[in-house]
A and B are shown apart, each in its own frame.
Chain A
């Protein structure tokens, strides 16, 4: 049985903000299925009582003094932006979107 359907891949693409083509959906559905069936092997390991590891370095709450240090100028920070205006990143409209979608 397939681990993932074409419809699920389409849903994942939407969540991932990828405007994939119909052709890509066909290809990815098969490939993601193979990958997911393979990685599902982790389920064979008896690990109910094992704590998870998110990180190998046991550092927590790394803090520094709250002091001003040299940083990028607004011009430098905006230098790679596709569009900028009045020292800000300019983005396409965000209002009028269909909130239900």
Chain B
């Protein structure tokens, strides 16, 4: 019998549509898989068994009634715990929201439900999406299915690990500085950061509002595109949502899978292909560039001189926005309240609540942001970072006059051992060296597996112009058609 957890999302949807299998069977197979392996992997913070089976039954009933189901109906999906889910716990990986059951669905989750997908549960993440290893989750780390002693990336390590462990065929992540792409890279899965404003932030617990972008994660490029199409598009409840249709990413993925890139110009970012990356990562990247050239792509070198300042600019802008956004966690409207003994003042209770509820990385970022925004330092730090953001955007704009897309490794290094970078916070930040420029610019980027280094997956990043998300899917699918997909050792 076919192992339903090994199928692609497109295959599952096809089998459910023709009635060869039922959504309930598919869902039960994934719940069984979670029960079998998640104790080792810890990809999930909450498994919604009853909700998933009820959603699956509903899909089967609609199909039996002859309803025309969407392209992903009956396909299970795991959702990063940063998105609100009505009545289902949403913690953002933090103690400060432990036990909170939101009274409303985020737009992404609402669209997933409307499309007939089946939400299996909520995935683990670095607290408030601040981190690159999922070790900063208040609920313990997620482990990489390729090597359980290594990190699965972050902040969306749970969403990526759930795919690599065959616990779900699709998952949702959010990318503020690389939190979809970097976990994708180190787990051998596909992660796409859509154009900022191309996917709704309504119901996404805010970290850095000018950067946060929810997006799709999958084990192959076409599945990611199918999910992107379902969750993307304008949302009037998000004032930064772009009022334009989603580029046809599914058609682009199918076009790319034909393996023909004739006429496509790709720019290798020279700043990211020097000494910044491990030799094994660079070797896999170079081989993939040659493979793309064989498919007809024209490869040129492109210099983006301000990209080297993206990391410091990001670690001023994101903490500044975070220090403001996280002020809402004050022990009044939701979540934890500590020290309310009837004698302490509101301010004392707030300070005790935040002290007890936030982990060290969140505290560090709140304080860095508070510092960067304070009078006397504002111009030198936050103000200057915003100017650097302009220059990085100009680098992208100039590059896209010469090439259709930019390419680089997704991460400088493969999955590192758990505990290797927690002692020095800045070492952790370097994991996002190559992914951050895109966030500051606001364009789309995707990570697709391109090879192995020391037995661990290497990610290939494709960055495209704003609202040209289809372009990166075409190139990613073409690369996948020649290098294939990568399967971790059995758990």
Q: Which residues of A come within 8 Å of B, CB atoms?
A: 4, 8-9, 12-21, 24, 27-28, 31-32, 34-36, 38-45, 47, 50-57, 59, 62, 64, 72, 76-77, 79-83, 89, 91-94, 96-97
Provided the pairs A47-B388, A52-B390, A82-B340 are in contact, do residues A41 and B101 lie with their beta carbons within 8 angstroms?
no
Contact B332 A17 (CB under 8 A): no
CB neighbours of B335 from chain A (8 A): 80, 82
* A-B residue pair count with CB separations less than 8 angstroms: 183
Cβ–Cβ contact B210 & A54, under 8 A? yes
**Chain A positions within 8 Å of B242 at CB level:** 57, 59
B236 on the A face (CB < 8 A): yes
Chain B residues in 8 Å Cβ range of A72: 103-104
A32 touches B367 (CB 8 A): yes
Known: A19-B352, A82-B340, A93-B345. A47 touches B387 (CB 8 A): yes
Cβ-based interface call for B364 (8 A): yes
Query: Interface SS of chain A: helix, strand, loop or mixed?
Result: loop
Q: How far is the CA of A39 from the CA of B436 in the complex (A)?
A: 14
| Contact A50 B391, beta carbon cutoff 8 Å | yes
User: Among the listed stretches B116-124, B282-290, B311-319, B447-455, which one makes contact with chain A, having 4 or more residues with CB under 8 Å of it?
Assistant: B311-319
* Residues on the B chain within 8 Å of A43, using CB: 380, 384
Number of interface residues of B (CB under 8 A): 70
Q: Which residues of A contact B100 (CB under 8 A)?
A: 80
Residues of chain B within 8 A (CB-CB) of A45 are 306, 309, 384, 387-388, 391
Choose among A32, A38, A57 the residue that contacts B197 (Cβ–Cβ < 8 A).
Answer: A57
Least CB distance, B459 to chain A, in whole angstroms:
23
Residue of B nearest to A44 (CB): B309
* Chain A residue nearest to B198 in the complex (CB): A57
Q: Which residue of A lies closest to B425 (CB)?
A: A31
Would you call B323 an interface residue if the criterion is a C-beta within 8 Å of the partner chain's C-beta atoms? yes
Given contacts A19-B354, A82-B331, 18 further A-B contacts (CB under 8 A): A12-B371, A16-B323, A17-B354, A18-B363, A20-B363, A28-B360, A35-B315, A38-B312, A42-B309, A43-B380, A51-B390, A53-B440, A56-B210, A56-B440, A57-B240, A76-B104, A92-B342, A93-B346
